[in-house]
Structure 1
Amino acid sequence: MDRRKFLDLCLKGGISMAALTQLQLQAFQGSTSAVGDEYKALVCVYLSGGNDSLNMLVPVEGEARSLYEASRQNLAISNPLPLSPDTAQEGGVGLHNSLAPLQSIFEERQLAFVTGVGSLIAPTTQQDVINKSVPLPLHLFSHNKQRATWMYGQEQRSLNSGWGARLLERLEQSEQFGGNISLSGMNHWQTSRDSMPFSLSSNGISRIDALSGSQERSEHVSNLFNRVLTGQTNPVSQAYGSRVKASIDKTSAMNIALQSSDPIDGVFSNSTLSRRLKTIARTISIQSQLGCKRQVFYVSMGGFDTHGNQNRSHASLLSQLSQSLSEFNRAMAYLNQHNNVTLFTMSEFGRTLTSNGDGTDHGWAGNHLVMGGAVNGGDLYGSLLTQHLGGPKDTRGGRLIPDVANEQYFATLAKWFGVPDSELVDIFPNLANFNQHTLDFI
């Protein structure tokens, strides 16, 4: 009897879906010895292309506002939404109009901004750049190289592993099926030598095309798969067959488990990001079935390489982003997982202050947001960079030097996730060059 028939007969024969799922998942569950009973999840929302995040938070008055308007020219945001962070900012601070759904979450202290973040090897000033007196990250304005640096949590080397995967390994969770899930396919952040993400589609159900179609066809292909995957004598072929069969089994188990998940009806809209975040929320709702005490999720949103038509396209992107994040925040409260799940953004770099006429070019420092019940929200962490073309933070062309290293940002999330302080520098090696290894946003 092939596996498909077995599943079909089990369901028709009265074995509950939950019991069947548990039987399947038991074979995939790994060790949970390095963490306690408390459940935690990190959700990475990657803004692909280099988000103009300096325009997410802008000054509202005084000299800071004048410098901003002179530097941003036709890209300056008028009438930003007022924010009242705990830490006062020179010139005040306003939120991009398209981020309106996040304003109340910030005021409710469930969201914080980490400002002036970028790739850094050591603390760096404008004079350091001019004198070449400190090492700078390689290929600062390259999409591929900087995306890799953000996802690896360090400069690229011959052997790389993503810092999301490394967190699971340090906590002995990398073998835990369902702990490493991507809604946007393979990515560096979740991949290491011994770990790779399990991919889900936007609606959660993964389909094996070869097993789709009529019952007769699917049974024939299933039998063929079993013969091919289990009838090999070559060690390489056996290893490959075992890997493929495990993937098929895991896909089936996850599909069945998701059928028992909370549908979270009436919360999420129909944008691509919202549908993907809904699937993440549904997966979180069944984490106890999966046996996971730690989960990392990845989802990307494209379109942020705004060399042209920025005023219109960036506003639309931020509107979709804020709506989706607001929905996810409500879903976590509904699932009573608000304190256990932290969502954060990454992007390969910020953008230039200067307009190229209709958009911006690749920059350096930017702002990022962190959301969840564990977040010390309602404040900005780091200084709101003065957007001053030719000012003390400008290297050239409006590319601002970061105040906060991305590794400090990552290390703070890793510490909350359960990684001991003593291991942070090993995971993020450039922390050794900074007096402060973590921030206080969580």
Structure 2
Amino acid sequence: MGRLFWKIFIGFSFTLLITVGGVGGAIYLNDKSPSTEEGFLSDRRADFVVGITANALKYGSEDGAKALFDTWPGHKRPTVLIINDHDQDILGREVEPETLRRAINALTLDPPPTSVRKVKTETGNEYILFIPAGSADSAGPLKYSLELQIFIALLASLLFSAGFAVYLSRPIKLLRKASRKLAEGDLTTRVSPELENRNDELTELGQDFDYMATRLQTLLDAQRLLLHDVSHELRSPVARMRLAVGLAQQQPDKLASALSRIERETERLDELLGQMLTLSRLEAGIGSESSDNISLTDLLAEIVQDANFEAQAVGSSINFQASNEVLMQGHYELLRRAFENIIRNALKYNHPGESVEVSISKNDQHEILVEVRDHGPGLPEDEIRNVFQPFYRVPGADKPGNVGYGLGLAIAQRAIERHHGNIVLKNCQDGGLCVCTTFPSDIEAATTA
């Protein structure tokens, strides 16, 4: 057993022992007979037994008292002495003269004690009734010794304290073992199944532990997948560069085309590493501490103007709508990267000849709302949440010759969340995908017409 068990066990045992000792002591002192001074018992049990015997003697004479003793429950008769006029007990029991004298003197008190009585029968005989000191069976078979009572109370308190200590310390012991297994790399460790029969704060602590373990498992799995995807994305352009170098060495006449290939792959590597660095800095919270007043309207207009050159090459266009100028507090470069990735992603999957629609406004809650809508194939509903994962690409969605890295929306989401915003993807009823971005009103710097 651990230290917590012993602390709980000793604490509860000590408390129960004090309680039992206090209550037992009070009862003992209340019922204790002052036999050392009076020579006869004068507690409530003695009053009760003497009273019953007095009634039997008064209405049934000596035969009634003897019949009472003969039918008394249990194996022992009550030790009530019934003294006649000759100072003798009617059952022939020994009577101490001093005890008898004290009992006779007690009858002269005002009022006399109820544990000593003088009874006159219907035949005119008088008797003195009392229980001498030292009688252990005066209360009949229901009386237990004080030692036995203390032993039972002690045993009951120890058993209760042990059971309650185990009940409290067991979940903590399970959490300790589970945390060690989790630290050793067993991410499947859970404690809720073993605490399902409880309904208290320790159960909630176990559920929080399981939630933490699940989150750790998810994050580590995502990290492993990210490392796998990064190595794959880096290996492909490097392999093509090595192939181009080998081709140039074997065929010097194709040196120009090989160098051109190496240049393209170098640009792709540079773009990939730049996006990975941006994603890493966003997840680490680096580079977004500064905050400036930004015209989000001008920022979107600039991005749309640059992207329109690419749109014209495929026979498309990007329409931008903004009725008012919206100023907000934020990091210019992060917002530019976020919306540039969103708009270029929309243009990438937009059908040729169709336009991409970009708008900025304020909704009913006075939040800043930016919508980017394309007229492409949209996304399967079960893939909408997955596209925000780094290096994730929807199977079969990439166009030939236009393959991305799967980092654009991941960067956009983290940049927008860094500004306390929210990004939501939803399929339009008439086709295409709509990207809705909202920023809270408290991030707004000023709005002018």
Query: What TM-score do you get using the length of structure 1 for normalisation?
Result: 0.19
Report the structure number with the largest CA radius of gyration.
2
If each structure's helix is expressed as a fraction of its own residues, which one has the higher value?
2
RCO comparison, higher one (Cα < 8 Å, 6+): 1
